[in-house]
Amino acid sequence: MIAKGTQAKSRSMSGGRTRTPCAAGDKPTPRPREAARYAAATMHAIAMSCASLVRTWHARQAERVFLESLLDFQLQQMGLSREDRRREATKPFWQG
């Protein structure tokens, strides 16, 4: 009877859930919903980082194409030479 009363008291304190004891040093395993939320948040963060990187690459390439289209007097006004334009325009899109 004491064990039964102790169990009921333990349940009411934990909100109706019983806890399983862990071995020393073991981390409790996350609940499936929490693990799924964590995985979804991680995947979302990775997708957003990849999308940001692709946007950066696209912007770099567009700027380099635009730079190639400038005339000599426009380059002079910007303080750039033909060599500066060639050097920047021939860089791969992933290089800053």
What are 59-77's pLDDT values in tens digits?
999 999 999 999 999 999 9
**Predicted pLDDT at 82:** 94
Model confidence, pTM: 0.58
* Continuous H helices in the chain: 2-13, 32-69, 72-78, 82-89
What are 9-45's pLDDT values in tens digits?
444 454 555 555 555 667 766 688 888 899 999 999 9
Question: Rounded mean pLDDT of 45-49?
Answer: 96
Angle among Cα 61, 65, 67 to the nearest 5 degrees reads 115
